[in-house]
């Protein structure tokens, strides 16, 4: 399966047999994503396969965890009391490295600041047979693409951009830690059978248009909700011209549409990428089976969209939401209307989304043109390489020198600003400014924790060109930059994308493999730690309906996992549920006063922080609910967003709709994600209303919940709440959590 897993194999013959069985069962042609997903079903003969409806029990081939989510996943895995991981598992130390001064000092500081977390995760990997990618080894999705992804495979990862692996023809799905624990424990992983959105690509990219522009355009078409419950599957003649890493970029950012994952069929460029990353044996092994690595003739999609690459323009998306897509030709006008500052305060390239050799060689060609003309970026430029392999390969090709000659700050091979771990001193909090990045996400406060930073997303080429000009509305296809000698400098379009001529450097020293005999390994965990805390099981459901509950907060508008449990400085407490719960919902807007982190305690009348109020309720033994708007929990797989409300005595989130991963996470932690049958009922609820939830005993049979609302003046009304619980998930609720259920079943 990889150079690092000598005893795990890819069995394309078995995959072929499974695909035939599924095709015989369904009696219809299959899309490519269906082939990959269904060939990993636990028991194909008994499976109920209905897109958008039934639940599948799947057997992923491996699990990857990043260090922020791995802490809680590993704490939960340890509670299962098993001797080793049931499938190949890796941990990647990428999220906890704070970007400040540059790679060397940032890495040293992270090593000191996070020592106990790294020691804990390293020891867990050693004990249970996992691979530990050391701090600075790279960003999880690049490391997976370079080492573990393979066409036709199924992987889950505890990060929402896991779909990056779809660029190598893999179904790679972002999940919460509790799902990862199931798979690491040898249980099947449950997923509602996704619908399939087909994206037909025609034509070829050229000039300034990059693979990133395909997903920037698509995010605009689908919006942040349009992919929910679906896999986005690409096909058509335009696919063959795309590079493997370009396709990975597209799949990576497909997460911004809410899609379960995104995937490309096998192409020759994937074969070349496998060779360049020292995995020729996979490329050779799959040759006889290539017919399984694309959709069947006549396969049907639930929806088809078409994008013509030849006429596609570069796009700039943002600010505040990744689906606000603007073509380059109308961006000047739109920027002016938005009133956001035209002066760029920073340009950021790299991250898991756009740090391939191809991306950065194209971007560096623009820098070289500028250097040759005597120019340097007018906006500070920062680069986060995706992995040590890629960074060394870029170094050997002289590409890093170009970035350094242009005055770029080279950050560690880590997420850094992308996950809010940016200790930004040059711009004060609250100061209005514009930033452009080649990352994937641009929610308010995402990079530097400053809600006044307007974040725009574009291709690396566009980020570099605009950073050199220092202006957000600079259009490198038509604009020029005045030079001191009175002439004008105009960019030539970047060259076509290339693979490194001698392949990628294999920097294996950044991976710590587990010992052959793990019996002597002790888990590194201090009982006094304020970073890592073992979990106390949640209490099972009492068997009674919930009566007369206060609303902790009625959330207004967008509420992503960043609003529910922000990142940045809070990363510190990802392994300590009590401590991290202090940030619960601090970014959510309270409908009562339009403010963040100020809610009224219904018992004392006092206005206080959300978490402080929840703790006060908990100290009274009082349970509570949250009322929320559309797509609650969009964004990331961060299961803390479900664990924290549960820990603080929350029992239900009642929303107009949920993001898929978060909805599952809530169920796994024994919470009730409930959906207004009539979305307009959200508007009828006042934050001071009291809520009763009736009919909970029938939820496992698919029955709706009846919500009784009692107003302050005693007026009452009832409404219906829907849900997506299946019988197994309902057992999580009854047992108190999925982990409780697992332990009960173990006996």
Catalytically annotated residues: 94-95, 159, 441, 636, 638
CB of 144 to ligand F3S, least distance (A): 10
* Span near ligand F3S by CB under 6 A; candidates 411-419, 428-436, 449-457, 485-493: 411-419
If binding is defined by CB under 6 A, does position 161 make contact with ligand F3S? yes
CB of 664 to ligand F3S, least distance (A): 19
Q: How far apart are CA 647 and CA 2, in angstroms?
A: 39
Q: Which is nearer to ligand F3S, 422 or 541 (CB)?
A: 422
Q: Which is nearer to ligand F3S, 155 or 419 (CB)?
A: 419
Candidate list 267, 269, 340, 351; residue touching ligand F3S; CB under 6 A: 351
Q: How far apart are CA 248 and CA 659, in angstroms?
A: 22
* Span near ligand F3S by CB under 6 A; candidates 44-52, 136-144, 258-266, 689-697: 136-144
Candidate list 349, 419, 525, 719; residue touching ligand F3S; CB under 6 A: 419
Q: Which is nearer to ligand F3S, 267 or 442 (CB)?
A: 442
Distance between terminal CA atoms of the chain? Answer: 34
Window 290 to 309, contacts with ligand F3S (CB under 6 A) = none
If binding is defined by CB under 6 A, does position 415 make contact with ligand F3S? yes
CB 164 within 8 Å of CB 245? no
Candidate list 58, 412, 418, 628; residue touching ligand F3S; CB under 6 A: 418
Q: How far apart are CA 109 and CA 308, in angstroms?
A: 47
Q: How far apart are CA 513 and CA 131, in angstroms?
A: 5
**Of residues 653, 675, 673, 656, the one with CA closest to residue 584:** 653
CB of 514 to ligand F3S, least distance (A): 24
**Of residues 535, 499, 590, 564, the one with CA closest to residue 743:** 535
* Binding map of ligand F3S across residues 11-50, x = CB under 6 A, - = no contact: ----------------------------------------
CB of 160 to ligand F3S, least distance (A): 7
* Span near ligand F3S by CB under 6 A; candidates 36-44, 135-143, 277-285, 699-707: 135-143
CB of 386 to ligand F3S, least distance (A): 8
* Span near ligand F3S by CB under 6 A; candidates 1-9, 414-422, 465-473, 572-580: 414-422
Q: Which is nearer to ligand F3S, 321 or 590 (CB)?
A: 321
Q: How far apart are CA 188 and CA 724, in angstroms?
A: 19
Report the relative pairing of strands 546-554 and 690-694 from DSSP bridges: antiparallel
Exposed, middle or buried: residue 336 (CB in 10 Å: 0-12, 13-18, 19+)? Answer: exposed
CB 117 within 8 Å of CB 524? no
* Span near ligand F3S by CB under 6 A; candidates 139-147, 272-280, 445-453, 597-605: 139-147
Exposed, middle or buried: residue 278 (CB in 10 Å: 0-12, 13-18, 19+)? Answer: middle
**Of residues 254, 189, 226, 195, the one with CA closest to residue 40:** 189
Q: Which is nearer to ligand F3S, 144 or 231 (CB)?
A: 144
Helices (H) and strands (E) in the chain, counts: 24, 32
Q: How far apart are CA 319 and CA 340, in angstroms?
A: 9
* Binding map of ligand F3S across residues 85-114, x = CB under 6 A, - = no contact: ---------x--------------------
If binding is defined by CB under 6 A, does position 559 make contact with ligand F3S? no
Q: Which is nearer to ligand F3S, 170 or 415 (CB)?
A: 415
Q: How far apart are CA 661 and CA 179, in angstroms?
A: 10
Q: Taking the mean position of all CA atoms in its chain, how far away is CA 683?
A: 30
* Span near ligand F3S by CB under 6 A; candidates 257-265, 371-379, 415-423, 710-718: 415-423
Total interface residues for ligand F3S by CB under 6 A: 13
* Sheet strand arrangement including 344-350: 325-327, 315-317, 453-457, 433-437, 344-350, 381-384, 409-410
Q: Taking the mean position of all CA atoms in its chain, how far away is CA 147?
A: 19
Q: Which is nearer to ligand F3S, 315 or 441 (CB)?
A: 441
* Span near ligand F3S by CB under 6 A; candidates 192-200, 316-324, 412-420, 572-580: 412-420
**Of residues 62, 57, 21, the one with CA closest to residue 40:** 57
* Binding map of ligand F3S across residues 257-286, x = CB under 6 A, - = no contact: ------------------------------
Window 425 to 444, contacts with ligand F3S (CB under 6 A) = 440-441
CB of 323 to ligand F3S, least distance (A): 16
Candidate list 139, 458, 549, 552; residue touching ligand F3S; CB under 6 A: 139
Q: Which is nearer to ligand F3S, 335 or 638 (CB)?
A: 638
Cβ neighbours of residue 685 closer than 8 Å, sequence gap 6 or more: 551, 554, 627, 709
If binding is defined by CB under 6 A, does position 352 make contact with ligand F3S? yes
**Of residues 476, 212, 213, 466, the one with CA closest to residue 327:** 213
CB 618 within 8 Å of CB 541? no
Contact footprint for ligand F3S (CB under 6 A): 94, 139-141, 159, 161, 351-352, 415, 418-419, 440-441
């Amino acid at each position: 399966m990889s150079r690092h897993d000598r005893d795990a194999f890819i069995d394309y013959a078995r995959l072929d047999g499974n695909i035939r069985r599924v095709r015989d069962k369904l009696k219809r042609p299959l899309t490519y994503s269906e082939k990959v997903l269904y060939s990993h079903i636990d028991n194909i003969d008994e499976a109920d396969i209905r897109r958008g409806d039934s639940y599948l029990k799947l057997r992923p081939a491996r699990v990857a965890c990043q260090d922020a989510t791995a802490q809680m996943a590993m704490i939960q895995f340890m509670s299962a009391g098993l001797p080793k991981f049931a499938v190949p598992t890796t941990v990647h130390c990428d999220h906890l490295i704070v970007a400040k001064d540059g790679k060397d000092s940032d890495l040293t500081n992270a090593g000191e600041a996070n020592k106990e977390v790294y020691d804990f995760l390293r020891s867990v990997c050693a004990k249970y047979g996992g691979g530990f990618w050391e701090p600075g080894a790279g960003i999880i999705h690049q490391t997976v693409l370079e080492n573990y992804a393979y066409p036709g495979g199924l992987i889950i990862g505890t990060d929402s951009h896991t779909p990056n692996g779809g660029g190598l023809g893999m179904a790679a799905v972002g999940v919460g830690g509790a799902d990862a624990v199931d798979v690491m424990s040898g249980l099947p992983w449950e997923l509602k059978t996704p619908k399939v959105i087909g994206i037909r690509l025609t034509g070829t990219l050229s000039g300034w248009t990059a693979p990133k522009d395909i997903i920037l355009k698509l995010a605009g078409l689908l919006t942040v909700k349009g992919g929910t419950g679906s896999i986005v599957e690409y096909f058509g003649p335009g696919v063959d011209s795309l590079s493997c890493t370009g396709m990975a970029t597209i799949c990576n950012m497909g997460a911004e549409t809410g899609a379960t994952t995104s995937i490309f069929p096998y192409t020759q460029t994937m074969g070349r990428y496998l060779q360049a990353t020292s995995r020729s044996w996979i490329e050779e092994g799959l040759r006889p089976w290539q017919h399984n690595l694309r959709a069947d003739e006549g396969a049907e999609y639930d929806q088809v969209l078409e994008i013509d690459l030849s006429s596609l323009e570069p796009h700039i998306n943002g600010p505040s939401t990744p689906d606000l897509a603007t073509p380059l030709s109308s961006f000047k006008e739109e920027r002016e209307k938005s009133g956001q500052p035209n002066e760029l305060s920073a340009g950021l390239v790299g991250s898991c989304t756009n740090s391939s050799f191809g991306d950065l060689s194209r971007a560096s060609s623009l820098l070289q043109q500028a250097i040759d003309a005597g120019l340097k970026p007018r906006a500070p430029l920062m680069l986060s390489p995706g992995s040590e392999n890629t960074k060394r390969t870029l170094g050997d090709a002289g590409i890093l020198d170009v970035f350094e000659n242009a005055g770029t700050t080279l950050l560690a091979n880590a997420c850094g600003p992308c996950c809010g771990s940016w200790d930004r001193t040059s711009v004060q909090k609250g100061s209005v400014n514009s930033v452009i990045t080649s990352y994937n996400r641009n929610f308010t406060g995402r990079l530097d924790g400053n809600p006044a930073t307007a974040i725009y997303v574009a291709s690396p080429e566009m980020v570099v060109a605009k950073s050199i000009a220092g202006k957000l509305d600079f259009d490198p296809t038509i604009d020029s930059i005045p030079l001191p000698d009175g002439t004008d400098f105009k960019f030539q379009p970047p060259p076509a994308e290339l693979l490194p001529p001698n392949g990628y450097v294999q920097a294996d020293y950044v991976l710590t493999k587990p010992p052959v005999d793990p019996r002597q390994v002790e888990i590194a965990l201090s009982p006094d730690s304020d970073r890592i805390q073992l979990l106390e099981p949640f209490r099972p459901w009492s068997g009674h309906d919930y009566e007369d509950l206060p609303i902790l907060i009625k959330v207004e508008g967008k509420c992503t996992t960043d609003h529910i449990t922000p990142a940045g400085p809070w990363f510190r407490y990802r392994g300590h549920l009590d401590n991290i719960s202090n940030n619960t919902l601090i970014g959510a807007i309270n409908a009562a006063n339009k403010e963040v982190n100020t809610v009224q305690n219904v018992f004392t009348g006092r206005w206080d922080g959300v978490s402080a109020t929840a703790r006060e309720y908990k100290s009274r033994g009082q349970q509570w609910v949250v009322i929320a708007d559309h797509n609650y929990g969009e964004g990331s797989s961060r299961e803390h967003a479900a664990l924290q409300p549960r820990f603080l005595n929350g029992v239900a989130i009642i929303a107009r709709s949920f993001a898929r991963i978060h909805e599952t996470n809530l169920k796994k932690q024994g919470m009730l994600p409930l959906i207004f049958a009539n979305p307009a009922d959200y508007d009828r609820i006042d934050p001071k209303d009291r809520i009763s939830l009736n009919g909970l005993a029938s939820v496992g049979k698919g029955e709706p919940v009846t919500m009784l609302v009692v107003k302050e003046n005693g007026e009452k009304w009832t409404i219906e709440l829907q849900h997506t619980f299946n019988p197994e998930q309902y057992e999580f609720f009854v047992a108190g959590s999925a982990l409780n259920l697992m332990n009960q079943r173990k006996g």
